[in-house]
């Protein structure tokens, strides 16, 4: 098992750490406090740490008419060093005036990279994992620019969406992916695309990432069409080390990969830019289990560790990750999504004791 350091931000001059907490909707209100508890347990391996409670989400929208208050954005930009985001309940049907606050935050804070490690925990410490990969997802473009329109054509309603791929965004997500691959033992990068069909948009993504290879000669580069990548992900996940993909493909691949390690409830992520990082568990708001004390807090706690790792606090991040590994290996305290009967609070307590 290998946890590569992310491209760290300088921490030597930081005398304190301010973390914004945005639980947002549903079980985010249960798992973000769990992540805070884990960070607090690290203690002296972090500088004096302060938490700022912030709001966003669909519930905020229903109360105020705004999903992402400007006060939240200003606090993140001017007061916080980093942040943790819980989960958002985005309705499947269009709601006038509403758009996802997490998508907006990624754009406003220029968090252009979504980094999702997918790692299975072996029952035996020190034994290699069957699944050990990182999905690096471009976070600002593709279909997620949300430029859609519906018109009436000859055969009734017609809906169209604009897909944006730029050389700038593709190159900088490629650079992030190469840096991560370079730091890992296998030093292998797979570019995910569908340029056999989308030769212009995916072609530009592929070419932009490919062009960086000469700067990273130690990294082996492969390519995979997105449909065959999904197939091979389930048949032979061990072939993947670092995968880099446009926004939509990365979203689908990283969620699919979570099935290989048991649950979305154990997979962390960070949204990272050059000046800010925000941890985010990859599960949804799960309104069907909210308030029952059975949500899996592991993805949120691991996201906190990943955030700390990105900031350069390796020792604190390692303590959290090793504590989670120990609890998962023990198998006595697992939430229902992993086949167990443990409560959220019991899992958090066990992890904190291990930290």
At 344, which helix (H) or strand (E)? helix 344-354
Question: pLDDT at residue 10 above 70?
Answer: no
Please tell me the predicted confidence (pLDDT) of residue 263.
Answer: 82
Pairwise pLDDT comparison (221 vs 126), residue with the higher score: 221
Residue 24's pLDDT band, with cuts at 50, 70 and 90, is: very high
46-69 average pLDDT score = 96
Which is catalytic among the residues 25, 81, 112, 194?
A: 194
Q: Rounded to two decimals, what is the model's pTM?
A: 0.90
Which is catalytic among the residues 29, 81, 112, 144?
A: 144
Q: Give the integer Cα–Cα distance in Å for 36 and 300.
A: 9
What's the token pair of residue 32? 């973000």
Question: pLDDT at residue 147 above 70?
Answer: yes
Identify the DSSP state of 164: B
Q: Give the integer Cα–Cα distance in Å for 302 and 271.
A: 14
Residue 47's pLDDT band, with cuts at 50, 70 and 90, is: very high
Please tell me the predicted confidence (pLDDT) of residue 280.
Answer: 95
Which is catalytic among the residues 53, 146, 227, 315?
A: 227
Cα torsion 8, 109, 166, 237: sign: positive
* Averaged pLDDT of the chain: 91
332-336 average pLDDT score = 91
Please tell me the predicted confidence (pLDDT) of residue 129.
Answer: 65
Domain 1-111+275-355 falls under CATH 3.40.718.10: yes
Active site residue 251: yes
What CATH class is the domain 118-272? alpha beta
Domain ranges, ordered by start, for the chain: 1-111+275-355, 118-272
Question: pLDDT at residue 20 above 60?
Answer: yes
Residue 111's pLDDT band, with cuts at 50, 70 and 90, is: very high
Q: Assess whether the region 1-111+275-355 and the region 118-272 belong to the same CATH fold.
A: yes
Please tell me the predicted confidence (pLDDT) of residue 7.
Answer: 54
Which is catalytic among the residues 251, 321, 325, 337?
A: 251
Question: pLDDT at residue 296 above 80?
Answer: yes
Q: How far is CA 89 from CA 2, 56, 80, 163, 288, in A?
A: 33, 11, 24, 24, 12
Active site residue 144: yes
Please tell me the predicted confidence (pLDDT) of residue 191.
Answer: 98
Residue 126's pLDDT band, with cuts at 50, 70 and 90, is: low
Active site residue 240: no
Residue tagged 């004096």 (tokens): 48
Q: What is the pLDDT of residues 192-212, one digit of tens each?
A: 999 999 999 999 999 999 999
Active site residue 241: no
Pairwise pLDDT comparison (19 vs 284), residue with the higher score: 19
Please tell me the predicted confidence (pLDDT) of residue 331.
Answer: 85
């Amino acid at each position: 098992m290998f946890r590569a350091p992310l491209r760290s931000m300088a921490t030597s001059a930081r005398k304190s750490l301010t973390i914004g907490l945005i639980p947002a909707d549903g079980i985010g209100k249960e798992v973000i406090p769990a992540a805070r508890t884990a960070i607090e347990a690290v203690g002296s391996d972090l500088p004096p740490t302060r938490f700022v409670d912030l709001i966003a989400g669909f519930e905020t929208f229903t109360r105020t008419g705004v999903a992402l208050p400007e006060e939240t954005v200003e606090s993140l930009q001017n007061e916080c060093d980093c942040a943790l985001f819980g989960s958002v309940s985005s309705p499947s049907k269009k709601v006038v005036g509403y758009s996802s606050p997490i998508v907006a935050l990624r754009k406003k804070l220029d968090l252009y990279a979504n980094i999702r490690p997918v790692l299975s925990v072996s029952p035996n410490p020190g034994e290699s994992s069957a699944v050990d990969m990182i999905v690096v997802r471009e976070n600002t473009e593709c279909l997620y620019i949300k430029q859609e329109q519906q018109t009436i054509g000859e055969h009734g309603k017609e809906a169209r969406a604009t897909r944006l791929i730029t050389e700038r965004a593709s190159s900088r997500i490629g650079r992030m992916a190469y840096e991560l691959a370079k730091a890992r033992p296998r030093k292998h990068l797979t570019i995910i695309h569908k340029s056999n069909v989308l030769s212009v948009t995916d072609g530009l993504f592929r070419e932009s990432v490919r062009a960086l290879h000469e700067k990273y000669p130690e990294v082996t580069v492969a390519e995979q069409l997105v449909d065959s990548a999904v197939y091979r992900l389930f048949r032979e996940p061990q072939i993947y080390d670092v995968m880099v993909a446009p926004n939509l493909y990365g979203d689908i691949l990283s969620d699919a990969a979570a099935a290989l390690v048991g649950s979305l409830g154990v997979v962390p992520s960070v949204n990272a830019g050059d000046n800010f990082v925000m941890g985010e568990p990859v599960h949804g708001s799960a309104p069907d289990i909210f308030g029952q004390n059975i949500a899996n807090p592991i993805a949120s706690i691991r996201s906190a560790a990943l955030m700390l790792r990105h900031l350069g606090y390796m020792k604190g991040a390692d303590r959290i990750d090793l504590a989670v590994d120990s609890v998962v290996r023990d198998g006595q305290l697992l939430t229902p999504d992993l086949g167990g009967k443990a409560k959220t609070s019991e899992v958090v307590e066990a992890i904190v004791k291990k930290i």
